[in-house]
Every structure is written in structure tokens, then in C-alpha cells.
Amino acid sequence: MRIALLLLLILSLIACNQNNTTMTATIHIESKNYKIDLDKPIDISIPVQHQSGVGAWYIDQPTIKHVEVDGYVGKVELGGSTNFNDVSFNPHSHVTHTECVGHITKQVYSVNQALNRTFFKAQVISVQPEEFEDDLIITLEKFTHIADDVEAIVIRTLPNSGDKKTRNYSHTNPPYLLEEVAVRFRESGIKHLLIDLPSVDKEKDEGALLAHKAFFNYQGDYRMDATITEFIYVPDEVSDGNYLLDLQIAPIENDAAPSRPILYKIKS
């Protein structure tokens, strides 16, 4: 009887340990190891939503609508066997998206070819844009403490209200980066720039795109492995500092594609 109870206790302890197991991983980047908890991802993406959600660039909201063809109705509620929807959206306007140099070049370059890996050491930095004439600008002085070994910068603008996830930015002249900031990032070896705005550039700049061009080195050898991700949202509970970034991009051959950047806190 005692042996049976002891075996039952051991089995119970094993079950408890299994239930409490965390998934940790060690990522090796540039001769350094980083340990992360895969059970605690921080999703900083904004999804596509039907007739709602974030928006910019003067076009209609996205639509998610069931298919009707040859008597088939792609909606179970209406008698169909499955839900089968067409999704219509623009990656630059309606969702967190990642773009490559092909966004600003005559040549066709696809963001789907830009990444040969997805994990990068990243630094989250909160910045308060400054008033300058009729604009709100993000200046170089906001980035005086960039770590030497980071490959990605994640910019959270202040104030950080939750309506960033549903705001329509068209004709609102949002904050933007000065060209000198993008130059600093490029010269510092930053390959991936993420921001919670519709663009790193001024909304109406007559096509100058100064920050885009500086970051991608438009006047020199294009940075083919660099990316800009716009329309992220970093929750308030995420503190400034260093993380590992998993930059996941939808497999679409286009200058930009919907993306799902995930942050992981680095374990000591």
C-alpha cells in the first residue's frame, strides 16, 4: 500500500513539473548567446480588420468578405460548408508591415528576399516628438544611448495611447524621423527599423522620403538586407531596453508585406 502511494506521489510530482515546464531557447548571434522564454512572446503587431483598424494614405478600409461563386457560399452561417473569405487590404495602409528598399526604387525588389534570418538583438526606445513649426519631429538627440551590438531599433512614440491600433492617420501630419536619425542608424549598422507610425517620413513631403532614402542608402549601394517596419504597437508594460526580435514576414513577393514582429525579454 505504501509503495503504491509513493508511486502515485511521484507520478503526481512529475505531472506538476510537466505542467509548469517553460520553453526556453538559446539563440546564438554574432558569437553571443541569448536565452529567451518562448512561452512569453510580446506581439507588437496590429492585425488587418474588416472595415476598421489602423489606416493611412487616403484609401478605404480593408474588407474581409465571404466568397460566392457557382452556387457556393463561403460562410457557414449562410449555409456554406466552410468559411472562405477574400481579404482586401493594402500592406502600407492597414496593418503592421515590413518593407525593403524596393519600396522606393524603380527596380523591383521583394521584402520576401530581404531576410536570411529572423532573430535580431533589438533595443526598444521611447521618444517624445518635438514641435517644430507645424510638425512633430523625432530628432537625433533622442538616440544617444544605442547599444553597440543591436541590429534593430524599436521606436515607441509618446504619448502611447491604445487608439494607435485603430487610428486613421490620413491628413493628420503624424510625427516623423529627421533624415539625420536615419543616417545615424545606417552608420551604426542598424539593419531593421521599427516604428509605431504610418511612415518614418513626413506624410506630405512631395516625395522626398528623406528618412527612407537615408536608411536604405538610396544614393549609394542599396542595403538589400535592411528593412523598415511601420504600424507597430509597443504596450506600456514593455520597458525600454534590450530584447530579441523575431521578425516574421508574410511570404509575399512585394516591396512590403504584412509582418508580425515578436519581442522576447532576454533572460539573465
Summarised one tens digit per residue, pLDDT across range 114-147 is 999 999 999 999 999 999 999 999 999 999 999 9
**Is the alpha carbon torsion for 231, 232, 235, 239 positive or negative?**
negative
Beta bridge partners of 74: none
pLDDT at 3 over 70: no
- Number of CB atoms found within 10 A of residue 173's CB: 12
Residue that the C-alpha cell 549601394 belongs to = 221
pLDDT at 4 over 60: no
pLDDT at 107 over 50: yes
Report how far Cα 128 is from the mean position of its chain's Cα atoms: 20
Q: Judging by beta carbons within 10 Å of its beta carbon (0-12, 13-18, 19+), is residue 112 exposed, middle or buried? A: middle
For residues 165 and 206, the answer to whether their CB atoms sit within 8 Å is: no
pLDDT at 5 over 60: no
pLDDT at 15 over 50: no
Distance CA 144, CA 259 (A): 28
Q: What angle do CA 200, 52, 87 make, to 5 degrees?
A: 90
Distance CA 40, CA 217 (A): 35
Mean pLDDT of all residues in 238-251: 98
Give me the pLDDT at residue 18, please.
Answer: 52
Distance CA 37, CA 17 (A): 17
In this prediction the pTM is 0.91
Beta bridge partners of 167: none
Between these two residues, 4 and 27, which has the higher pLDDT value?
A: 27
Mean pLDDT of all residues in 225-233: 98
